[in-house]
Chains A and B, each alone.
Chain A
Amino acid sequence: MAPTADLVCRDLTKDFDDFRAVDHVSFEVPQGSFFSILGPSGCGKTTLLRMIAGFQFPSSGDLLIKGNSMIGVGPNKRPVSMVFQHLALFPMMNIGRNVGFGLRQRGVSSSEIKARVGRVLERVGLPGIEDRQVDQLSGGQKQRVAIARCMVLEPDVLLLDEPLGALDLKLREHMKIELKTLQAEFNTTFVYITHDQSEALVMSDNIAVMNKGKFDQIGTAKELYYEPANAFVAGFVGDANRFEGKVTAVNGQIVSLVTGGGVELHAQATAGVPAIGQRAQIFVRPEAIALSKDPSQGSESPNASKRIVDSVLFNGANSMVILRDPKSGETIQVTLPQTGDLLGLTKGETVLAGWHPTQARCFASGGAVDGI
Chain B
Amino acid sequence: MIPTVPQSSALKWSYRAYVSLFFVYLALPLTVVCAFAFNNSVFPSLPWEGFTMAWFFGTEAPFIGVFHERSILRAIGTSAFVAIWVSGLSLAVGTCNAFLFVRHDFRGKGFLYILMLLPLIIPGVILGISILVFASSVANTLEDATGLWFDGLRPGLILVILGQFSFITTFATLVISARLQKFDLSLEEAALNLGATKWGAVRQITLPFLLPAIVGAGVVSILMSFENFNTTLMLVGSDSPLTITMFDKLKHGSTPVLNAVSLLLIVVSAALGLLSLIFQKSKE
Cβ-based interface call for A50 (8 A): yes
Residue-wise, chain B 1-26 has the 8 Å CB interface mask toward A (1 for contact) of 00011100000000000000000000
Cβ-based interface call for A59 (8 A): no
Q: Are B5 and A74 in contact (CB under 8 A)?
A: yes
Cβ-based interface call for A57 (8 A): yes
Cβ-based interface call for A286 (8 A): no
Q: Are A56 and B5 in contact (CB under 8 A)?
A: no
Bound CA span A75–B1, Å = 12
Which residues in window 79-121 of A have CB below 8 A to B? none
Chain B contact-residue range equals under 10
Rounded to whole Å, the gap between the CB of B120 and the closest CB of chain A is: 26
Bound CA span A56–B3, Å = 9
Q: Are B6 and A56 in contact (CB under 8 A)?
A: no
Secondary structure type dominating chain B contacts:
loop
Which residues in window 246-305 of A have CB below 8 A to B? none
Contacts of B4 in A (CB 8 A): 50, 55-56
Bound CA span A56–B5, Å = 8
Contacts of A75 in B (CB 8 A): 5-6
Contacts of B6 in A (CB 8 A): 54, 57, 74-75
Bound CA span A74–B4, Å = 10
Rounded to whole Å, the gap between the CB of A14 and the closest CB of chain B is: 13
Rounded to whole Å, the gap between the CB of B8 and the closest CB of chain A is: 10
Kindly report which residue of chain A lies nearest to residue B4, judged by CB atoms: A55
Kindly report which residue of chain A lies nearest to residue B6, judged by CB atoms: A74
Chain A contact-residue range equals under 10
Bound CA span A54–B5, Å = 8
Contacts of A50 in B (CB 8 A): 4
Rounded to whole Å, the gap between the CB of B98 and the closest CB of chain A is: 29
Kindly report which residue of chain B lies nearest to residue A72, judged by CB atoms: B6
Kindly report which residue of chain B lies nearest to residue A56, judged by CB atoms: B4
Rounded to whole Å, the gap between the CB of A58 and the closest CB of chain B is: 13
Rounded to whole Å, the gap between the CB of A304 and the closest CB of chain B is: 55
Bound CA span A57–B4, Å = 9
Contacts of A54 in B (CB 8 A): 6
Contacts of A57 in B (CB 8 A): 6
Residue-wise, chain A 27-54 has the 8 Å CB interface mask toward B (1 for contact) of 0000000000000000000000010001
Bound CA span A1–B4, Å = 39
Bound CA span A293–B262, Å = 91
Contacts of A56 in B (CB 8 A): 4
Rounded to whole Å, the gap between the CB of B80 and the closest CB of chain A is: 48
Residue-wise, chain B 181-217 has the 8 Å CB interface mask toward A (1 for contact) of 0000000000000000000000000000000000000
Bound CA span A262–B85, Å = 79
Rounded to whole Å, the gap between the CB of B72 and the closest CB of chain A is: 52
Rounded to whole Å, the gap between the CB of B4 and the closest CB of chain A is: 4
Bound CA span A352–B215, Å = 69
Bound CA span A55–B4, Å = 5
Bound CA span A128–B79, Å = 65
Rounded to whole Å, the gap between the CB of A47 and the closest CB of chain B is: 11
Rounded to whole Å, the gap between the CB of A150 and the closest CB of chain B is: 18
Rounded to whole Å, the gap between the CB of B171 and the closest CB of chain A is: 30
Contacts of A74 in B (CB 8 A): 5-6
Rounded to whole Å, the gap between the CB of B196 and the closest CB of chain A is: 38
Bound CA span A108–B5, Å = 24
Rounded to whole Å, the gap between the CB of B277 and the closest CB of chain A is: 29
Bound CA span A55–B3, Å = 9
Contacts of A55 in B (CB 8 A): 4-5
Rounded to whole Å, the gap between the CB of A227 and the closest CB of chain B is: 38
Bound CA span A74–B6, Å = 6
Which residues in window 3-54 of B have CB below 8 A to A? 4-6
Kindly report which residue of chain A lies nearest to residue B7, judged by CB atoms: A74
Rounded to whole Å, the gap between the CB of A63 and the closest CB of chain B is: 14
Kindly report which residue of chain B lies nearest to residue A53, judged by CB atoms: B4
Interface centre among A50, A55, A56 (most CB of B within 10 A): A55
Rounded to whole Å, the gap between the CB of A85 and the closest CB of chain B is: 14
Kindly report which residue of chain A lies nearest to residue B5, judged by CB atoms: A75
Bound CA span A93–B5, Å = 22
Bound CA span A158–B141, Å = 80
Bound CA span A57–B6, Å = 9
Kindly report which residue of chain B lies nearest to residue A50, judged by CB atoms: B4
Rounded to whole Å, the gap between the CB of A206 and the closest CB of chain B is: 28
Bound CA span A55–B5, Å = 6
Residue-wise, chain B 116-135 has the 8 Å CB interface mask toward A (1 for contact) of 00000000000000000000
Rounded to whole Å, the gap between the CB of B11 and the closest CB of chain A is: 13
Contacts of B5 in A (CB 8 A): 55, 74-75
Bound CA span A74–B2, Å = 13
Bound CA span A57–B7, Å = 12
Rounded to whole Å, the gap between the CB of B163 and the closest CB of chain A is: 41
Rounded to whole Å, the gap between the CB of A2 and the closest CB of chain B is: 33
Rounded to whole Å, the gap between the CB of B282 and the closest CB of chain A is: 29
Q: Sorted from nearest, which 8 A-B pairs have the closest CB atoms?
A: A55-B4, A74-B6, A75-B5, A56-B4, A55-B5, A74-B5, A50-B4, A57-B6
10 intermolecular pairs with C-beta atoms under 8 Å apart: A50-B4, A54-B6, A55-B4, A55-B5, A56-B4, A57-B6, A74-B5, A74-B6, A75-B5, A75-B6
Q: Given known contacts A56-B4, A57-B6, A75-B6, what 7 new A-B pairs fall within 8 Å (CB)?
A: A50-B4, A54-B6, A55-B4, A55-B5, A74-B5, A74-B6, A75-B5
Residues of A within 8 A of B (CB): 50, 54-57, 74-75
